[in-house]
Amino acid sequence: MTATPEFSVIISCFNEENSIEEFHQRLSAALDALGRESEIIMVNDGSMDATWAKLKMLFEKDPRISVVMDLFSNAGQQAAVTAGMVEARGRAWVLLDSDLQLEPDELPRLVAEYDKGNDLVSGFRKNRKDSLLRVVPSKLANMIMRRASHSTLTDFGCTFKIYNADLLRAFNLGPLRIFNNVDAIAKAGRYTEVPVTHHPRKYGKSGWTFRKLWQYNMDNLVKLSQRPFQLLAGFCFLGGVLFMLRILLGFLTPGGILAEVTPGLVLNTVFFFSLMILSAIAILGEFAIRSFIMLQQNPAYIVRETLRRNRDDSGSAA
């Protein structure tokens, strides 16, 4: 392995004992077909099954795997990916999940677009095979993230991506500052999307609960600084405009606005503005809490064990 591989493939794994070997086999075949110098970095994100044991076994067998890491607890996908990024040496970083919902075989298609000079190539799941409880909130989050990041990406949540490594290294990533997908996308000058195949989850269940999805999206908004406030102000302004139009239209009716002032109208008006105020307070409170947590300098992840291959390809751990 050369000192600077062209691609670092960074994989986060959580309870993937049933899929990790098949995933590794298919990823290796894709890298062989690509024919470019590459390394694989695999991070066990606090799995409760035999994932870590299988990662160590793969490390011993495959000299292309340069690093395997075991985190103390389930830190979350972006934190686990950050741990891998700290170890990455490639000129481009490939991100991909190991649950086989996305196909490693499609990597050459993304690389072809990256070779055209893009700083970011993102997959997008054209026909998602997730439940409505996953798809609907995801579409709403994508809409918000597009507005917040001034980006035209379709699928922010698709984990199959290739980044220019220099773009991400500029963020000084580590336990105190983890990788933020939306922030990185907002800074990418040239980017494109590639449709990728999406499958139902083959083994186990997703680690993305509603709570984790909410935390993920709020973290993204916090990192985007003033944009959430601008969006909130925009929604409030739009609500105010719609309400004023309602009042003005009342003046244009034969009976005038006074003829329409009923207890129902008053209650609806109070309810509308109360809802807007409570929503604003909730969002600002969440924003303040997360900003405070970020200032506490608590590490987002802690590494329990690392096996790192020597540069001489001997296969020994460092």
- Output the pLDDT for position 51: 97
- pLDDT digit string (tens) for the chain, length 318 residues: 557 999 999 999 999 999 999 999 999 999 999 999 999 999 999 999 999 999 999 999 999 999 999 999 999 888 999 999 999 999 999 999 999 999 999 999 999 999 999 999 999 988 887 666 667 777 777 777 777 777 888 888 899 999 999 999 999 999 988 898 888 888 898 999 999 999 988 876 665 555 666 666 666 665 555 555 555 556 666 666 666 666 666 554 555 554 555 666 666 667 666 777 776 676 666 666 666 656 667 898 999 999 999 755 533 344
Instruction: State the pTM of this model.
Output: 0.74
Q: CA–CA separation, 290 vs 219, rounded Å?
A: 7
- Output the pLDDT for position 227: 54
Residue 239 and residue 277 in contact, taking contact as beta carbons nearer than 8 Å: no
- Output the pLDDT for position 305: 98
- Output the pLDDT for position 185: 86
- Cα torsion 142, 103, 68, 309: sign: negative
Ranges of H-type helices in the chain: 20-34, 51-61, 77-87, 107-114, 132-149, 165-169, 181-187, 210-223, 227-251, 256-260, 263-295
254: its two tokens:
């034969």
Closest alpha carbon to 75 in 272, 219, 250: 219
Question: Could you tell me the CA-to-CA distances from 12 to 23, 43, 107, 132, 153 in Å, in that order?
Answer: 12, 5, 17, 25, 23
Q: CA–CA separation, 41 vs 58, rounded Å?
A: 11
Establish how many alpha carbons lie within 13 A of residue 91's alpha carbon, considering only the half-sphere containing its beta carbon: 12
Q: CA–CA separation, 141 vs 213, rounded Å?
A: 9
Q: CA–CA separation, 178 vs 96, rounded Å?
A: 17
